[in-house]
Each structure stands twice: as structure tokens, then as C-alpha cells.
Amino acid sequence: MPRPPAVSVVLIFLDAEPFLDHAIRSVRAQTLEDWELLLVDDGSRDGSGAIARRHAAEAAGRIRCLEHEGGANLGMSASRNLGIAHASGRYVTFLDADDVLLPDALRTLTGLLDGEPRAAMAYGPVQYWYSWAGAAARRGDFVQRLGVPTGVLLEPPELLLAFLRRRAAAPSGMIVRAGVLRRIGGFVEAFRGMYEDQAFCAKLCLMHPVITTGTCSYRYRQHPASSSAAADRSGEPDYGRRAFLEWLAGYLDGQGVKGGPVRDALGRELWWCDHPWLSRVARRARRMMRKLRRIST
């Protein structure tokens, strides 16, 4: 039997023909070569399936194509879970079909978990990538602020509290120990396209330590067809958030978490959801305060 790879990359796609080839090539160009790539088709009807099969034929044994029974469209969480079920690496990382990994991404991320045995997950900041569009770019690229300390082990539930209190964004391009992934049950399939990362991270960060880095490894392509752009167009600043918070309340019940800081933070966030006008005013005030602090320093 061949030796399992260090890391399995799970790349899910749905009608991603304009971007998929670039995403796959970003994995094949990694400086760490000890990887496998699982391409999960979530019911595509365009030419992206052919792109995936071509790469699998070019790198037989390292790249595999997967799909749901009958070519069904089951959503992002179910597609990631299908990839997890077939992953053989000791670590698993995730890539969306319209994004790309920077060349040292796998080396950086696996190194974090190799160096910190207690960490269940590692991640760093992502680059919001507008310049791919050339002259049509709406703004310049920037790297997000993590909102939490980097280079240190974050004990549970510190990171979950930061997510709930909106001090940190749910990570993209995270790498997770395969054993932990399977113990927590992977992604929550009720979340098909929004808040799937938040629900997954809530499960992991409630009980497990996480290590962070200040090094950017992931380019998050900004374009009008993305799920986040669709949420922005909805006109609802907290599109889907209440469903996530209500799910989290039920999950905490199931885990026997009846009180404590996570329950307190969840209660406050549900209150803000019930008072959206006040929530918008408070967010504008926080943004203004952060801007003033940056100016003053």
C-alpha cells in the first residue's frame, strides 16, 4: 500500500468553469508535494466536471474526482463531508473552486500543526483578491485582520467567543487534523452555502485548541457570483445569521453547555438579531472607533 499523504486538499465545485482550472493549478504548484487532491462535484452542469477529470487523468493517483449519488446537488457542507470521507491524509484542508492557494500554503499550514501537537486546527489571514479582474477590479487587494493573537495556541473557547462577538472572521483555508474532523462529525449539512464555515468552526473551537499564523496562504477571489456577494445583494447585513445562532443554541444543548461565556455571548448575539437597527448603528460606531484608533497611532 502507498504511504498516505501528509495533507488531503478537498476542493468542492459547482458550475465553476471560469475559475476551477486556476484553483487546481494552485494546488499542483505547491512547494510541499506530499498532498492528494479530492475534487468534489456538487452537481455541475457546465464544463467544470471535464476540467476536473482532465487534471485527474494528468495526475493519476494524486487527484481524484468525486460526486454525489446521481450527480445530485447537496450543498457545500455535504460536498466537503464527501471529500473528508475519502481523505487519506493525516491533515485535511479546504479550497473553494473560485479561490487559490499561495505556493507555500501547504508547507506553512502543515508546519503549524507539526509544531504544535495539541492544536486541532491551524489557519492564517486571507487575502481579499480583487486584482484578478485587472482593470475591472473594484478596489485594491488587502489581507484581512485576524482579530486574534497570532503564533500562539488559542485555548477553547477563546476563538469561538471571538467569532460570536464579531472580533474575528471564521477562517478560510484552515487545516485540520483528520482524526478531529471525523470525531466532531465534519460540516453541518443543514448549512448548504452560508454559515457552513461558522457552524463547523463552532463545533471544533468549543472543545479544541487552535494555532494561528500571521502568514497569508489563501487568496479569496471577489466576484459577483460568489455566495458572499449574493448575501451582500440581499440587503440583509446578517443574512442567515439567526439560523446559525439558533443551530448553535441547539448544539450547545446537545453538548451539555448550559451556561458560561459562550452562552452569554450567544444570548447577546440573538438579542442583536432581534434589534437589527440598533445592531447596524453599533457596527458603524465600532468601525468608526477602529478607524480613529488607527489614525491616532
68-114 pLDDT tens trace? 999 999 999 999 999 999 999 999 999 999 999 999 999 999 999 99
What Rg do the C-alpha atoms of the chain give, in angstroms?
19
187-197 pLDDT tens trace? 999 999 889 99
Residue 222 has pLDDT above 80, yes or no: yes
pLDDT of residue 32: 98
CA–CA dist 124, 112 (Å, integer) = 10
pLDDT of residue 6: 97
Exposed (0-12), middle (13-18) or buried (19+): which is 122, by Cβ within 10 Å? buried
Residue 1 has pLDDT above 60, yes or no: no
pTM value is 0.89
273-291 pLDDT tens trace? 887 766 566 667 666 776 6
- Kindly state the average pLDDT of the residues 194-204: 94
Q: Which residue has the cell 485587472?
A: 134
Residue 283 vs residues 131, 164, 193: alpha-carbon distances, Å: 28, 14, 24
104-149 pLDDT tens trace? 999 999 999 999 999 999 999 999 999 999 999 989 999 999 999 9
pLDDT of residue 170: 79
3-53 pLDDT tens trace? 899 999 999 999 999 999 999 999 999 999 999 999 999 999 999 999 999
CA–CA dist 63, 24 (Å, integer) = 10
pLDDT of residue 230: 47
Which ranges of the chain does DSSP label H, i.e. alpha helix? 20-28, 48-58, 76-86, 105-115, 158-164, 178-183, 196-207, 227-233, 241-254, 261-274, 276-296
The grid coordinates listed for 105 are 500554503
- Say what percent of the chain tops pLDDT 90: 78
Q: Which residue has the higher pLDDT, 229 or 181?
A: 181
Residue 232 has pLDDT above 90, yes or no: no
Q: Where exactly are the structural domains of the chain?
A: 7-296
Question: Residue 194 is which amino acid?
Answer: M
CATH architecture of 7-296: Alpha-Beta Complex (3.90)
